[in-house]
Chain A
């Protein structure tokens, strides 16, 4: 094993890591925005409104992310309508195809997380809102959604880590993310073990940072719980 190649190509790996982070951040933000209406539709009392998000979630959670990326990147160009349409400048770019696939995927998972959180709020709090005379909109905005946000945090942190790891699939459609960059360097230097291990180490570091950030947000968001549920380590 010769780790001097790692030192030499480390800046390139960091460039790749930045692309991976962009993919994750954009798709997590967009996915979160889409997930909320999907989650609310999923708990609607009307059956046909429930059915659509159910099918959506079932499809995107039940099929491999790799299939979803290929469907968007290779699949969309099968149709002349798409190739001549106004969306073609976007669907031609591997980066945006990855963003579309990741967003659709993560919004399905995130919607389920949101649904679980909203349903986990005690019935009494909903009743209290009604007694005070809040409208449905006020109830969601002032009580249910802020409460759900606190409940959602640990599972949401997991979803971001899973998305970070899923983003490695972007390398299969020629994007030079961390994995893609590693594969490109390996094609030139032929040192697969060294470069792949270095890439793995960078993913690990990013995961650890995300976990640490979420711990902090969790401590802040759930601070009203005091020390009941969160143990603050003693210093000294």
Chain B
């Protein structure tokens, strides 16, 4: 057994934080992705432009830069807004909140494209049938469109989640106590850099494998109505 110099518990705590960050960002990103895809398919030009601007910018700049911009920028933006309401105290944006915002925005931009493809692949007849049954737009989306979109989008979203999981490491740069930062702390006190970064790498690999198993379970579940011999 490898000697972790008593930092094993710390690293496990880091893994919990990494997972929390990934799941929270996933949740934000899925909502942004659905909104973005709907916006891209909107009949109103301005909404389409906004969605296109969002995906182009986020996909064109490095994730690390997004994390840094949100972390340093959110404070000044929030303080400017609070200032309008006469609140002058210093507002601190935590690493976790900044991380969820930055990674959620990133996931959302890529998920927008995945959802757009899926939404466009739903046959028009499905919309017409739902309308013919007297469903309103919300019920139609929730009961007919979304379950089918979900099935088609899942493989793409699964890939994006694996990317997201690895991007969480970037938030350690602004001080989140995730796997990466716990490893940094262990390294600075033990000088065993290779050992701890390798352990960190294998922890990410383990999370990746678990995610892959879970995604394939979800894919099976989502397409259980289809008879695939």
Contacts and interface: CB of A to CB of B under 8 A. Distances in A.
Interface of A: 58-59, 62-68, 70-71, 74-79, 164-169, 171-172, 179, 182-183, 186, 192-193, 196-197, 199-200, 203-204, 207-208
Contacts of B193: 70-71, 74-75, 77-78
Residue among B60, B72, B76 with the highest chain A CB neighbour number at 10 A: B60
Contact of B73 (A59, A77, A166, A192): A192
B169 interface: yes
B15 interface: no
B72 A67 contact: no
A224 B128 CA distance: 42
Q: What is the size category of the interface that chain B forms with chain A?
A: 35 or more
Contacts of B172: 66
B46 interface: no
Contacts of A59: 201, 205
B191 A197 contact: no
A192 B75 CA distance: 11
B32 interface: no
Contacts of B72: 186, 192-193, 196
List of 3 A-B pairs having minimum Cβ-Cβ separation, nearest first: A75-B194, A168-B62, A192-B72
B96 interface: no
Contact of A67 (B64, B73, B204): B204
B73 A71 contact: no
A79 B168 CA distance: 29
Contacts of B201: 59, 63, 67-68, 71
25 contacts: A58-B205, A59-B201, A63-B204, A64-B169, A64-B204, A66-B172, A67-B169, A67-B197, A68-B201, A71-B198, A71-B201, A78-B192, A78-B193, A192-B69, A193-B69, A193-B72, A193-B76, A196-B65, A196-B69, A199-B65, A200-B69, A203-B65, A204-B60, A207-B60, A208-B60
B20 interface: no
A76 B176 CA distance: 25
Interface string B165-194: 011111011000000100110010001111
A7 B187 CA distance: 40
A63 B63 contact: no
Contacts of B73: 192-193, 196
Given A66-B180, A192-B72, A200 B61 contact: yes
B11 to A, nearest CB: 13
B61 A204 contact: yes
B135 interface: no
A192 B172 CA distance: 18
Contacts of A167: 62
